[in-house]
Structure 1
Amino acid sequence: MLLSGLAVGIVLGAVMQRGRFCVTGMLRDIVTLKSWRGIVALLIVISVHAVGIAALTSAGIITPKVSDFAPAAVMIGSLVFGVGIVLAGGCASGTWYRSGEGLVGSWLALVGYGLSAAAMKRGPLASTHEALANRTVKMTTLPETLGISVWWFALGLSALTIYLVNFYLQRDNMRGSKVRLEQPWWARSLHLYTAGALVGIIGVIAWPLSAATGRNSGLGITTPSADLFSYLTTGNLKFLNWGTLLVLGILVGSYLAAKAAGEFRVRLPDAVQAQRSVIGGVMMGVGASWAGGCTVGNGMVQTSLFSYQGWVALLFTGLGVALAAKVFLKPTQNTEVPTSAPVAEPSLTAEPKEFAFATAPVALKVRTEQQQGLRQIAPATYALDTLGAVCPFPLVDARAAMSNLQSGDSLVIDFDCTQATETIPQWASDEGYAVTDFRRQGNAGWQITVRKS
């Protein structure tokens, strides 16, 4: 039955990769884009999960247990975790599946995350963890406190989620569909809401499969990651369990999905992002250990049980993301309109050339001084090179550059961040900008042209 953890992880990794499913981005968009569209996908996960868990519990198939609420640990830990996931460029599950896409920055974050979580749970930082985790109050779930059935919460949240899904889908239809890449069906990304529903269903299936191995839990990332790194450093087989196979499966599933869609390529971060990835990964491990879970354990599982821990953790993770977004998410290059004469460039109507870094197995991104920042390449046409930048920086730079352009100007954006294949077209649609060209540039490389209305 242990191998069922690997199977669930592979499917979960593939769904998350094809759906660009990242809770960090959902929370971050509330601050940076003033959009709640993404968070509705998380509500879909929680709603599906809540109904499924309630049904499995009512049938006596599983018996979920919720620990007493540790307010200090959950609030402080979630705040630290929220800051960490912005620095690392993705939440716990997002870091695992982006590692499968070939992002070296995610590899660095993953090592920091796994090692710090292991140190907090059973290593030299265990006393630090216990100092907050042991300060609990006799509160577990909202249904228990109010003395009513969990079904009222599960069905009520589901009704609200259905309303919000319908609202955003109708609004997007009125604005017109965002431009999508022309590619075969197997290479197309999943709609975020479809991915959310699938993640919720996978989460429900995970419970009885995990319980069959003696693990009374469903999806989880932090403890399994700590167990995996404990196993790798000690060789103790007790750390090789359903959860460790789950997280390894996420990595495998993401890699297979990215490879099939031509989205896998080893991408090296610059020095600044490499440092942020390591620091963010360590903060993720420390914060998630204090909080008792990450955006999966708390944000998807505990919330679906309507525990105090889950919803308070989600709130404070959001506050951490908001704080970090305000401080760290600034344009990475000069986006002012250049005053010099246009730089000679090949015609935009010509067939695009394959860039060496877009097809090579490893991308070493080195910009020349002339390539840094916004460049004019034709009358009323500007280029922005964001290759090598992790999300959300391609969008951050593009927004800053577009704000400096005149109506009718076009912006040509080169990027290799997989998530930006969805976020940039969605931003253009929300702002009423026209996407006049959108094409792939080799493996895990894209170019999009947006015209300011």
Structure 2
Amino acid sequence: MILTGLLLGTVLGFVFQRGRFCVTGAFRDIFTLRSTRWLTAFMVVVAVQSVGVFALDLFGAISLQSGTFPWLGTILGGFIFGFAIVLAGGCATGTYYRAGEGLVGSWLALIFYIAGAAAFRFGPLAGTTEAVRSVEATNGSFHETLGVNPWILVLLLVVGVGIAVMRHLARERRVTKVRLPASKTGIAHVLTEKAWHPFVTAVIIGLIAIAAWPLSWATGRESGLGITGPSANIGVFLGNGDLQLVDWGVMLVLGLLIGSFIAAKTSGEFKIRVPDARTAVRSIVGGTLMGWGAAWAGGCTIGNAMVNTATFSFQGWTALVCMILGTGVATRIFIMNHQRAGGSARPVVSPASASPAPASATR
């Protein structure tokens, strides 16, 4: 049954790579471009998943539990993680799928992200994680605290995100678009050449995220998509060889590498790219900080900002806000100040702009 994780992860990696779905870019664009287009796409994933996950809970396929709210670890870890993804050039999933594209800098970030997550969750630094996450509030969800039916919050979320989507689509219709001639036709054109719209990609990711819940629960892992926990398990497994650590989540993240490699190879975007020394150092530092921040926060941009937000947990929404703030601070330090000084922002290029555009990309 855990092989369903590998299959789903492969599909997810393919979609992330072909859709150029960059969470780091979504957060960073708020500060550099004053644009919320990609952030809106991210929220589409949350809204779609929210509908699906509460429907699964309603029909008994899963059973959602709110738990507590470890606010101190969520705030500190979320900020650290948001800061780190700018240095690393991508969040957890972005690092996985860029590694599948052949970016050596992402390989470094991924290695140290895995090592950092393992150290702060199971290794010598696990005590710090336990300490900060022991500071908590009793109620862990908005709907329980407010005493309202969660479907009211689902409706408000869907309506709010829908309005934002319509505003962005209206703006796009006013922009003149130029498309390069396609070299492929049919399904090959769609899957390997055509530029995917962010909102279409977001809907697909949302549906995949919904499917992750029952597939994961069927193996005894009572959760949806998650990157940090499985990554930490990989780090510990490489150290002690304990096969019990290889669960559905581990298969999922391994699938991300496979799917992104397939997507990059078939679209002609795979290429081994070796970073300069400065980028390599930032990738290492960023990856390590990502592991630290995600461990303290209880998840990354997927497990927290995409999944826990869909269930209206305080941890998920607090982590999302703190990650955006951390990204903003790092963006100001490493990108905006650097640009004002007349330099280049090469070390922190996001996946959305790192690879050549497909032949039919909208310009």
Q: TM-score range by the shorter chain?
A: over 0.9
The amino acid of 1:130's aligned partner reads: E
Which ranges in structure 2 are unaligned for 5 or more consecutive residues? none
User: Who is 1:340 aligned against?
Assistant: none
Moved more, 214-223 or 227-236: 227-236
Mapped to 2, the partners of 1:252 and 1:62 lie a distance apart of 28
Residue 6 (structure 1) aligned with residue 6 (structure 2): yes
CA distance in 1, matches of 2:325, 2:225: 24
CA contact 1:332–1:393 (8 Å) conserved in 2 = no
Q: Distance in 2 between matches of 1:66 and 1:272?
A: 43
Counterparts of 1:180 and 1:109 in 2: how far apart (Å)? 34
Q: Structure 1 length as normaliser, TM-score?
A: 0.75
Q: How many residues align?
A: 355
Matching residue of 2:64: 64
Change in 2 beyond 3 A, CA 1:281/1:59: same
**From 266, 271, 274, the counterpart of 1:268:** 274
Aligned to 1:257: 263
Structure 1 unaligned spans of 5+: 337-372, 374-384, 396-416, 427-434, 436-453
- The offset of 1:65, in angstroms, is 2.3
User: Paired residue for 2:212?
Assistant: 206
Question: What is the alpha-carbon distance in structure 2 between the residues aligned to residue 394 and residue 147 of structure 1?
Answer: 40
Q: How does 1:61-140 map to 2 (within 5 A)?
A: 61-140=61-140
Q: Distance in 1 between matches of 2:109 and 2:61?
A: 37
Task: Please say if 1:156 is aligned against 2:134.
Answer: no
Q: 2:315 aligns with which of 309, 328, 347?
A: 309
Match of 1:298 in 2: 304
Q: Distance in 1 between matches of 2:183 and 2:152?
A: 43
| Largest Rg, 1 or 2 | 1
What does residue 196 of structure 2 align with? 190
Question: Do residues 279 (structure 1) and 285 (structure 2) align?
Answer: yes
Look up the SS of the partner of 1:176 in the other structure. coil
Map Cα deviations across residues 16-48 of structure 1 (whole Å, 9 max, x no partner).
000111111001000000001111101100000
Mapped to 2, the partners of 1:178 and 1:320 lie a distance apart of 36
Provide the rounded CA distance (Å) in 1 between the counterparts of 2:20 and 2:139: 35
1:238 maps onto 2:217 in alignment: no
Percent identity over paired residues: 45
Q: CA 1:180–1:286 in structure 2 vs 1: closer, same or farther (change >3 Å)?
A: farther
The question of whether the paired residues in 2 share the 8 Å contact of 1:64 and 1:216 is answered with: no
Deviation at 1:161, TM superposition (A): 1.3
| 1:98-123 CA distance string (max 9 Å, x none) | 10000000000001100110111111
Q: 1:178 to 1:50 in 2, by over 3 A?
A: farther
Residues 81 and 183 of structure 1: is their aligned pair in 2 closer, same or farther, counting only changes over 3 Å?
farther
Aligned to 2:16: 16
Report Cα offsets for 1:166-203 as digits up to 9, x if no partner: 11111111122365574431322311111111110000
TM-aligned CA distance change 1:29 to 1:241, over 3 Å: same
Q: CA deviation at 1:127?
A: 0.6
Higher helix share: 2
Runs of 4+ in 1 over 4 A off after TM superposition: 178-183, 330-336, 392-395
Residues 267 and 330 of structure 1: CA distance in aligned 2, closer, same or farther (over 3 Å): farther
Which residue does the alignment assign to 1:323?
329
**Conserved in 1, the CA contact under 8 Å of 2:82 and 2:322?**
yes
Higher strand residue share: 1
2:357 corresponds in structure 1 to 421
> CA offsets per residue over residues 87-140 of structure 1, 9 Å max, x none?
000000110011000000000000110011011111100111111011111121
CA RMSD of aligned residues (A): 2.3
